[in-house]
Amino acid sequence: MNPSCPRCGAGCSVKYGRYRRADDAQSIQRYRCNQCTKCFSSATFTATYRQKKRRLNRLIEMDIASSTAQRRIAKNHRCDRKTVARKIKFLANEARLRTAKRLNKAEPFDLLQWDELITFEHSRLKPLSVAVMVCKRSREIVAYGVAQIPASGTIARRAREKYGHRPDKSGSMRRQTLRAIAPHIAADAVIETDEHKRYKREIQRVMPTVTHKQHPSIRGSLTGQGELKRTGYDPLFCINHTLGMFRDNIKRLTRRTWCTTKLSSSLDDVIAIYVSFHNSTLI
């Protein structure tokens, strides 16, 4: 059955020849609407409609999830940096849809681990918090969130002098992330975290029926991007190893890198691509 016309909605279209698409050499079926006399094709209904370099989509997705900088991606594939930036926006939206479909099809999760890593945008004086929830049984990343936090420690005073007051939005981000993933978590689930003071109250407020277990924090080792711990047995190894994979596979999260995130929304897009690649390919 021929598709309906995307302009007038009439279901009286007829085949109207074919054409060979330039960027990937595929033969595309054309149609003509007998009511409005407008032409369209089978490519009109795809997410890549009007894209000129569809062949780069999968390549850029793999590069982004394989610790490659955007400038190097543009150089390797002989395209403009703006093309890579636009592709990342498109791939991030597609990745979020795939992740949502994956969650809707999955069984409710019953054993999870929850933790955060710290990075920054533009300058180390403007840190960001990235919260991640992982299924301990399958190693699947089920939720994440990104939020700004104020600088702490020895650079806190310099950060206030240079950029002013920076509100802490990590709490609202964690609560929003927990509310979004709550329908996919079993009522008798177990969530393991470290001894962060706010985790217990936030988890009990959003999911009062789950069991929350806290484990003492352990000093990080030199290996594993500082996320793996100096011990023979780490009860939070699953989440710590996953955060180590974040550091290693996302270029802008690597420690001591000059590939810094300029906007927190851009970091969110890159993490969305990596989460989909991690769940579908790496594990």
Residue range 230-270, pLDDT digits in tens: 878 899 999 999 999 999 999 999 988 899 999 999 999 99
Q: What is the pLDDT of residue 48?
A: 94
Q: What confidence category does residue 221 fall into, taking pLDDT thresholds of 50, 70 and 90? A: confident
Q: Is residue 79 part of a domain?
A: no
Q: Is the pLDDT of residue 222 over 80?
A: no
Give CA–CA dist 17/227, Å, rounded: 57
Give the H or E element holding residue 278: none
165 lies in the same domain as 41: no
DSSP state of 21: -
pLDDT score, position 20: 95
Residues above pLDDT 70, as percent of the chain: 100
Residues 6+ positions from 226 with CB-CB distance below 8 Å: 220, 247, 255
- DSSP letters along 30-70, please? EEEETTT--EEEGGGGSTTTT-S-TTHHHHHHHHHTTT--H
62 falls in which pLDDT band (50, 70, 90)? Answer: very high
- Do residue 41 and residue 152 come from a single domain? no
Q: Is residue 231 part of a domain?
A: yes
In a domain, 274, yes or no: no
Single pTM value for the model: 0.94
Indicate the DSSP class of residue 281: I
In a 3-state reduction of DSSP, which class is residue 114? Answer: strand
Rounded distance between C-alpha atoms, residue 14 and residue 33, angstroms: 7
| Whole-angstrom distance, CA of residue 123 vs CA of residue 104 | 38
> Is residue 151 a contact partner of residue 129, using CB atoms and an 8 Å limit?
no
188 and 118 part of one domain:
yes
**Whether residue 117 sits in one domain with residue 241:** yes
Residue 52 in any domain: the answer is: no
Q: Read off the pLDDT of each residue in 192-200 and give the average, rounded to a whole number.
A: 96
Note whether 21 and 117 are same-domain residues. Answer: no
Q: Give pLDDT tens digits for 154-185.
A: 999 999 999 999 999 999 999 999 999 999 99
Instruction: Report, as an integer, the average pLDDT of 41-67.
Output: 95
Tally of structural domains, the chain: 2
Element housing 164 (H / E): none
Closest CA to 174 of 182, 166, 184: 182
Same-domain status, 118 and 188? yes
Are 123 and 230 found together in one domain?
yes
Q: What is the rounded CA–CA span in Å between residue 63 and residue 150?
A: 31
pLDDT of 23 above 90: no
Domain housing 26: 13-46
Please give the pLDDT value at position 51.
Answer: 93
Percentage of residues in the chain having pLDDT higher than 90? 90
Mean pLDDT, rounded, of the chain: 95
- Alpha carbon 21 to its chain centroid, in Å, reads 31
Report the Cα–Cα distance between both ends of the chain, in Å, rounded. Answer: 39
Amino acid identity of residue 263, one-letter, is L
Q: Is residue 89 part of a domain?
A: no
